[in-house]
Amino acid sequence: MKIGIIGAGNVGATLARKLIASGHHVKLGNSRGPDTIRALAEEIGATPVSAEDAVKDVEIIVISIPFGRIPDIKGLLAAVPRDVTAIDTSNYYPYRDGAIAEVDAGKPESIWVGEQIGRPVIKAFNAALAQTLADRGQPKGTPGRIALPVAGDDERCKRLALELVEDAGFDAVDAGVLADSWRQQPGTPAYCTELTVEQLRFSLSSANKARAPENRDALLNLFLNSAAPLTHEDVIAMNRKGQEATCSRSRP
């Protein structure tokens, strides 16, 4: 498919690499212009473009920029046909993004994102560390394959996002409508814990909305104040331990 990715950082560039490897055509854009990502794009096989060009003549748009910068792209998708699928990978960390009152009051992050850009989004690829996306994808059918949640309201768009997750090397789990997408936000047991399909379904169903923000901030504090550098395995283990505490039951 023809995919435009806005954001060429840890997640945007990683997804570009994975999706090109599985046969998609990817345009990659950032805020500073194509010259700043030309070498990266060439290495990956993507076409470097401006953010304005990333959303033109594509079937899927992936938005992968810091949550706090979403308002910068308010008008960017205004002329994009309504049948183009918009996927949001973002996560809200008030420490990094600044406090956003509506989200602090409980509005699911990706509903807020959709309101900012003027169209609904599908939430996908947010609940895995960039390193997980880069290194831990496996062929379909591999025992223990990591599963990732996909939430959204439009069934056709969600189906396309589920297919992209599979193409990137992960079992795709339909996590319901966008109103339920808080179940895959930071601080929940589904978030960046590298689970199988069965474990992920259980974690999504046992998430605790009220405790997630507090848990998100407590975990971030642990990461920021760690005395020694943390490995990928450390982060996953800390996420599992910290977020499991918010489950009402034990994970299978």
Ligand X SMILES: NC(=O)c1ccc[n+]([C@@H]2O[C@H](COP(=O)([O-])OP(=O)(O)OC[C@H]3O[C@@H](n4cnc5c(N)ncnc54)[C@H](OP(=O)(O)O)[C@@H]3O)[C@@H](O)[C@H]2O)c1
52 contacts ligand X (rule: CB under 6 A)? no
For ligand X, the binding residue among 49, 129, 162, 235 (CB under 6 A) is 129
Residue 95 vs 252, nearer CB to ligand X: 95
Residue number with the smallest Cβ distance to ligand X: 9
Count of positions on this chain that bind ligand X (CB under 6 A): 25
E-state strands within 102-145: 122-123
Q: Residues with Cβ < 8 Å from 187, sequence gap 6 or more?
A: 211, 212, 213, 214, 215, 216, 217, 219, 243, 246
Q: Rule CB under 6 A: say whether 112 interacts with ligand X.
A: no
**Site for ligand X (CB under 6 A): which residue of 16, 19, 65, 190?**
65
- Is position 34 an interface residue for ligand X (rule: CB under 6 A)? no
Q: Which stretch binds ligand X (CB under 6 A): 10-18, 98-106, 226-234, 239-247?
A: 10-18
In the list 6, 87, 150, 235, the residue contacting ligand X (rule: CB under 6 A) is 6
Q: Note whether 32 binds ligand X by CB under 6 A.
A: yes
Say whether 145 sits in a helix, a strand or coil: coil
User: Is there a contact between 107 and 132 (Cβ–Cβ < 8 Å)?
Assistant: no
In the chain, count of helices (H) and strands (E)?
11, 8
Is residue 87 classed as helix, strand or coil in its secondary structure? strand
Considering only residues 51, 122, 124, 178, which one is a binding residue for ligand X as defined by CB under 6 A?
Answer: 51
Residue selected from 16, 58, 130, 178 as contacting ligand X according to rule CB under 6 A: 130
Per CB under 6 A, the segment of 26-34, 153-161, 201-209, 242-250 that binds ligand X is 26-34
- The pair of structure tokens assigned to 52 is 């304005």
Instruction: Report which of 180, 179, 69 is spatially closest to residue 117, judged by C-alpha positions.
Output: 69
The reply on whether position 188 binds ligand X by CB under 6 A is no
Considering the complex, state which of residue 12 and residue 48 has its C-beta at the smaller distance from ligand X.
12
List, in sequence order, every residue forming a beta bridge with 150; answer none if it has no partner.
174
CA separation, residue 28 to residues 93, 160, 167, 193, 236 (Å) = 24, 19, 18, 28, 29
Residue ranges with strand state E in 114-250: 122-123, 147-150, 171-174
Q: How far is the CB of 20 from ligand X (least distance, A)?
A: 17
Residue 30 corresponds to which amino acid? N
> Contact at 8 Å (CB) between 126 and 152?
no
Q: State the minimum distance, in angstroms, from the CB of residue 2 to ligand X.
A: 19
Residue 94 sits in the site that holds ligand X (CB under 6 A): no
Work out whether 66 is an interface residue with ligand X (CB under 6 A).
yes
Site of interaction with ligand X (CB under 6 A): 6-12, 30-32, 51, 64-67, 69, 72-73, 89-91, 126, 128-130
